[in-house]
């Protein structure tokens, strides 16, 4: 793939990165688009690599489909492989040497055979078209009341995660705290990033926990594992000292 397109909404995702991390991320994206080999990232830019990889993979599929369409068109019409000047010269040479009425019998038969073959191919494609449509499963309809941005930005996520987001938005509407389009877009991008890095089930659990605790927002810090502090050994000197004191009092009482 020779070209890579990045939308302006990706700027919201890389806002949390520094200039050096952003540069390494874009260099890795260009390398992956050209070679298909995933880079080894060690900084904070690796958090956004999952989102960047999905963008590149989607563009690669579109690029491959375009190349396949061009190759099929050239195979159907060999003149497409020639330049415009070559095609014009060929047409002028044909027109100057012969007219439609002076075609040789062999050439005329070849032309009729080519037209017949073309009609058969067109008929075969029309007969196969309904079968291909039946094989392709239709996209499941979105549940009623779902925000269009949820279906658009979380299209590659699981239905369980999208349902949890629907429940969260309904929960916020019940609290009379609705999202504006920009805020909703930022929230969905954050949910998608945490789902890529921590798993969809962890994000769903965080959403349900926030609703059950009547929180104003989702507590994302719980998804990040904190290093455990080493346990301090218990102090036992105090217990031994108490035993010594009791023994001293017993000895003094005997005296």
d(CA 147, CA 169): 9
Block residue for tokens 């001293």: 248
DSSP 8-state class, residue 250: H
Q: What is the pLDDT of residue 141?
A: 57
What does the block give as tokens for 119?
């009609």
Task: List, for residues 183-236, the tens digit of each pLDDT value.
Answer: 889 999 999 999 998 889 999 999 999 999 999 889 888 777 544 555 555 544
Q: What is the pLDDT of residue 106?
A: 61
Task: List, for residues 117-176, the tens digit of each pLDDT value.
Answer: 888 888 777 776 666 555 555 545 556 668 888 888 888 888 999 999 999 999 999 989
Domain boundaries defined on the chain: 10-97, 148-223
Q: Residues, the chain, total?
A: 255
Task: List, for residues 72-106, the tens digit of each pLDDT value.
Answer: 777 776 555 555 455 555 555 555 554 444 445 56
Contact between 20 and 14 under an 8 Å Cβ cutoff? The reply is no
pTM summary value: 0.36
Task: List, for residues 3-38, the tens digit of each pLDDT value.
Answer: 777 777 777 777 777 888 888 888 888 888 888 888
């Amino acid at each position: 793939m020779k070209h890579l397109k990045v939308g302006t909404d990706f700027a919201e995702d890389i806002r949390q990165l520094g200039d050096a991390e952003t540069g390494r991320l874009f260099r890795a994206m260009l390398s992956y688009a050209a070679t298909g080999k995933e880079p080894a990232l060690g900084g904070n830019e690796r958090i956004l690599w999952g989102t960047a990889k999905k963008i590149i993979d989607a563009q690669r599929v579109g690029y491959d489909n375009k190349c396949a369409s061009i190759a099929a068109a050239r195979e159907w019409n060999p003149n497409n492989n020639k330049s415009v000047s070559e095609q014009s010269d060929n047409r002028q040479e044909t027109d100057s040497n012969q007219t439609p009425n002076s075609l040789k019998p062999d050439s005329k038969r070849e032309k009729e055979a080519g037209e017949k073959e073309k009609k058969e191919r067109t008929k075969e494609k029309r007969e196969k078209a309904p079968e291909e449509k039946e094989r392709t499963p239709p996209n499941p309809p979105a549940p009623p009341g779902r925000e269009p941005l949820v279906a658009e930005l979380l299209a590659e996520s699981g239905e369980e995660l999208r349902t949890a987001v629907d429940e969260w938005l309904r929960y916020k509407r019940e609290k009379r705290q609705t999202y504006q389009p920009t805020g909703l877009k930022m929230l969905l991008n954050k949910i998608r990033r945490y789902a890529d890095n921590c798993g969809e089930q962890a994000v769903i659990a965080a959403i349900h926990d926030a609703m059950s605790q009547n929180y104003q927002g989702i507590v994302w810090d719980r998804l990040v594992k904190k290093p455990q502090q080493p346990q301090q050994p218990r102090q036992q000197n105090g217990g031994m000292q108490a035993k010594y004191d009791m023994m001293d009092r017993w000895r003094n009482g005997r005296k």
